[in-house]
A = this chain, B = another copy of it.
Amino acid sequence: MDVADLSPAQARERFRAGERVPTAGWCSGWTQANLIAVPKELGYELLLFAHRNAQACPVLDVGEPGAWSTALFPGDLRTDLPGYRLYREGKAVADLDDVVAEWRDDLVAFLIGCSFTFEQALLRAGVPIRHLDMGTNVPMYRTSVACQPSGTLSGPLVVSMRPVPAALVDVAIEVTRRYPQVHGAPVHVGDPAAIGIADLGRPDFGDPVEVRPGEVPLFWACGVTPQAVIMASGVDFAIGHLPGHMAILDARDDDYRVP
């Protein structure tokens, strides 16, 4: 069975069994989400950060303190993502297959919209997606764009990049604009240096993809932003997903499409 045809529950079962793979192209028609879990004492600052930086951090669901499932993610947040990244004192200290041993009773889990959610809509509109064609992870970059701070939290906007044929740039903007809760329209079109990206060939997260002649790099706000902010702000303890290795929700991508 093609991974595009799996249900969210089937995908979560495979990840729980140990498969570690980026989720672009998985579970066609279903919503994917970023995970960031922090101690509840940081919950206010993080939720306010998300509110103030809503294009990068659209909150789709929030778990109760200590809970490892939510209304939209009826699996186990500790095991049912294909990969995790553990942070201590603002540093990424481990990439893990599960976080059962690391989960804490005081953690609140935020599920943040992910641009993988609108990729099917881009394909339907005739916009090719290089990382899907290559079977790799999407490239993601820290930018020189500062997020709006919240309390002790500050840091750079992270973006994902997709090269789009020049003639299709308007289509890609129009299609993704209709999905504001999964990052919406691009935040930047064209010159990577204008947002502080020195080398497209060396993403900070994920895999590089070729930008061919006649193509324009389009940059979308990315839900890895909270992880970059956790690092920039020296947060004591946090758990994120491994970038590109998303939580797959029991929510249709159409649920996040506006007219």
Contact = CB atoms under 8 A, between A and B. Distances in A.
A48 interface: yes
A51 interface: yes
- Per DSSP, are chain A's interface residues mostly helix, strand or loop, or mixed? helix
Contacts of A200: none
A139 B189 CA distance: 48
Contacts of A47: 44, 47-48, 51
A104 interface: no
Contacts of A108: 44
A43 interface: yes
Interface in A10-67: 40, 43-44, 47-48, 51-52, 59, 62
Contact of A44 (B40, B52, B59): B40
Contacts of A62: 48, 51-52
Nearest to A41: B44
A117 to B, nearest CB: 19
Residue with the highest number of chain B CB atoms closer than 10 Å, among A43, A44, A59, A62: A44
A129 B224 CA distance: 46
Nearest to A62: B48
A51 B52 CA distance: 13
Contacts of A59: 51
Interface in A88-129: 108
Contacts of A40: 44
A59 B108 CA distance: 21
A145 to B, nearest CB: 19
Interface string A218-230: 0000000000000
Interface of A: 40, 43-44, 47-48, 51-52, 59, 62, 108
14 contacts: A40-B44, A43-B44, A43-B48, A44-B44, A44-B47, A44-B108, A47-B47, A47-B48, A47-B51, A48-B62, A51-B51, A51-B59, A51-B62, A52-B62
